[in-house]
Each structure stands twice: as structure tokens, then as C-alpha cells.
Amino acid sequence: MTNLAVIESPQDQRSTAPAQREDNRLRLEDRAAHDWYRFVLSFPAHLVRTYIERFQLSPRHTVLDPFCGTGTTLVECKKLGIQSHGIEPNPMAAFASRTKVDWEVDAEALAAHATNIAQRVSDKFASQGIEDEGGLPLFQPRQRPLAHLKTIPSDQLKLLLTGSISPLPLHKTLLLLETLEENREPRLAAHEHLALAKTLVNEISNLHFGPEIGVGPAKPDAAVIGPWLRAVKAIANDLRHFHQNAATPASVHQGDARDLVHLLGSASIDAVVTSPPYPNEKDYTRTTRLESVLLGFIKSKDDLRRLKQNLVRSNTRSVYKSDTDDRLVEGHDEIQRIAEARQILPSQPVTKWSA
């Protein structure tokens, strides 16, 4: 049986000098819940607090984030006991937001179940001659070549950024997912899968952000069990301190912010705190593509197309012939005046589409 205490230990425990605080980054004291999973360009939690204080919002108010992403506004409102609603069309981001405001999970049960899963996966690895303890390559035992590596269907593999995850780390990740499904605990599954989403991006994959997403040098191997188990236990540790405001309502609607009237009741919102999409040439679905595919939120090119079609248009890469967004602003004289002055009125729609 593999020693989980070794696997769970961080690979590098060297002390480092504290980094200088940057106001556009997540502060150390804000990491609880926010750090379970987040976009690399998520706005910082203290910015939400600043606006809550400036507008004197309190638990008697309700806050809306119509572009909630991975839930920064919702988490911070919940920490302050303020009810909130979020809207997000990306299923991976909506899942992350919904999980990050679910604080009524038994922390001890979560940690115990994850430890049991880790042992089961470790035993599977051992039976296949796979090491997963990390450490320095010079001191790792030589692994015997595997006859067969698990992978995903070719049509799903084509949805990923080329080279975003190497074959052996993918095989190990799929074994972990398989074991989670075999021993599924419905009340714990979301938090365990969110921990895997974070681990995939930060530890297992070949992805890097600078700030655009890209693919770095291929890792022949990467630890899976240890980083995932640490991520789950970090979530469990946060949950132990969230009792006071665990019952504060926070809802996430997977939908379109342009359909607010159909998602929320009339006069139900007191304030809006958000970071809306802005004009650029970024394809936001690329940022979450790996975890979206491996966790089953995007299973085909048609799923990806539907997701892109439901996003607010912020670039020319995701424009469709059937788009009707121009109707939302055709009656606004000032918008039309600016568009005409800058010669940015819509012309013939772009019909080409690619993943």
C-alpha cells in the first residue's frame, strides 16, 4: 500500500520571501473559498469589499453579479452575510461559483472520503507500476512502460488545446475520475471535482497563463493524487471556519445575463457588483477548456458551439449569422452616434466558426 503521507506532502517546502502585495491580485488573507478555483484574470475579493462598504450594503440588501464567472462577488457577499445572485453561461464557471458558495458540507466527511479515494487510486497506480509521489526526477524509481493508457474519445480530444495535457498525466487523471464515480458521495462530489479542476490547471496540465492561456513544455509525468488531495483538504479546512454565514442565500443561475427578467423577480436586487465582458479578441471558452471537457461539461463540438453562441459578444471570433445583439442597442441614440462616429456599426456578420 502506498504511503499517502508522502504523496500528500508538497514537493517543495523551501521557505520563500513574502511577495509584495498587488492590489489586482488575490491577497493571502482572502484565499478562503476564493482560491478553491478561479480564473487567472478574476478581479480581487478586496475590490468587492470596497464597493460593498462604499455603497453601505448590509445583510438587508441583495447583490447581483450578472457576469459572475467563478464567483468572486458571491463568495465575498456570503462572507459578509449578504444575499446574492449570480448569472453565468459557462457551465464550468457556473459550477465553480455554485460550489464555492456551498458551505453546508461536512468538512470531516469530505476530508475522510477524499483520503479514502486517494488510497484507492494509489493502489490502482501501484498495480500498474505507476509512481505518483512527485519529488526530484533523479530520485524517482523507473516506471515500467504501460501497455495501455486511458484517454478520451478523439472528438473530445480535438476540443482541447493541442498539447494541453500529456498522455500519462491524462491516464492518471482519468483513473482518479473513474474512482470518484465508483465511490460517489453526492453531497461531496462537487467539492471533490472542483478540487480536481483546480489541480488539472495548476499542477497536472501543460497549460500556463501569461495572462493569455498557452501551452508550455510537455510534462512526461505529473503528480495527481497528492495535489488533488491537498486541494480537497484545503476546501475542508475552509469549511470548518464558515459556520457563521453558511446559511446566507447565494444562488447561481446558469444562463444569459440578457434574460434577467426571466431569471430574477421584479425589484429583487439592491446593487450590482460585476466585471462585464469588454471588447477584445479573447475566446473565454479556451480558459476553461481542459477542465470543461474532462469533467463532462463540454462533450462535443456542438456543445462548444452552443456555449459560444450564448456568450455576450466581445470579439470577432465568435460572431454568428443568426446573432441579433444589434437589436439591443438599435433604439439607443447615443450608442448609435458613437458607433457612427467611430465607424463601428455592424457590417456583414462573420459566418466562419472554429473551436
Residue 209, strand partner residues: 213
Q: Which residue is it, cell 487510486?
A: 121
Confidence bin at 154 (pLDDT 50/70/90): very high
Q: What is the pLDDT of residues 90-102, one digit of tens each?
A: 999 999 999 999 9
- Which of 205, 140, 216, 145 minimizes the C-alpha distance to 170? 205
pLDDT at 135: 40
Contact 7, 133 (CB under 8 A): yes
Mean local confidence (pLDDT), 147-165: 94
**Residue 173 or residue 13, greater confidence:** 173
The C-alpha angle with vertex 154 and arms to 148 and 155, in degrees rounded to 5, equals 160
- State the pLDDT at residue 65: 97
Question: Given the DSSP bridges, would you call strands 83-87 and 250-253 parallel, antiparallel or unpaired?
Answer: parallel
pLDDT digits (tens, 9 = 90+) for 207-248: 998 778 899 999 999 999 999 999 999 999 999 999 889 999
More confident call, 273 vs 354: 273
User: Is the Cβ–Cβ distance between 26 and 32 less than 8 Å?
Assistant: no
- Greater pLDDT, 92 or 5: 92
Per-residue model confidence (pLDDT) at position 13: 35
CB contact at 8 A, 270 and 62: yes
Least confident stretch, 161-165, 191-195, 239-243, 264-268: 264-268
Q: In percent, how much of the chain has pLDDT > 90?
A: 63
Residue 23: the pLDDT is: 57
E runs forming strands in the chain: 62-65, 83-87, 207-209, 213-215, 250-253, 271-272
Average pLDDT of the residues in 261-271: 89
Range in 59-73, 94-108, 215-229, 276-290 the model is least confident about: 276-290
Provide the pLDDT for residue 9.
Answer: 52
pLDDT-derived band at 15, boundaries 50, 70, 90: very low
Measured over the CA atoms of residue 162, residue 95, residue 203 and residue 220, the dihedral's sign is: negative
Domain boundaries, the chain: 4-13+110-239, 37-103+242-276
CA nearest 106: which of 246, 250, 251, 248?
246
Give the rounded distance of the alpha carbon of 317 from its chain centre: 22
What is the average per-residue pLDDT within 174-178? Answer: 98
Report the top-level CATH class of 37-103+242-276.
Answer: alpha beta
pLDDT beyond 60 at 144: no
Q: What phi-psi label fits residue 343: left (phi over 0), alpha (psi between -120 and 50 degrees) or beta?
A: left
Residue range 77-86: mean pLDDT, rounded: 97
Flag whether pLDDT at 16 surpasses 70.
no
Confidence of residue 133 (pLDDT cuts 50, 70, 90): low
User: Which has the higher per-residue pLDDT, 17 or 332?
Assistant: 332
Backbone dihedral angles phi then psi of residue 311, each to the nearest 5 degrees: -85, 150
279: pLDDT strictly greater than 60: yes
Amino acid found at 200:
L
Residue 14 has pLDDT above 50, yes or no: no
Kindly give, in sequence order, each residue whose CB lies less than 8 Å from that of residue 347, ignoring residues fewer than 6 positions away.
none
Average pLDDT, the chain: 85
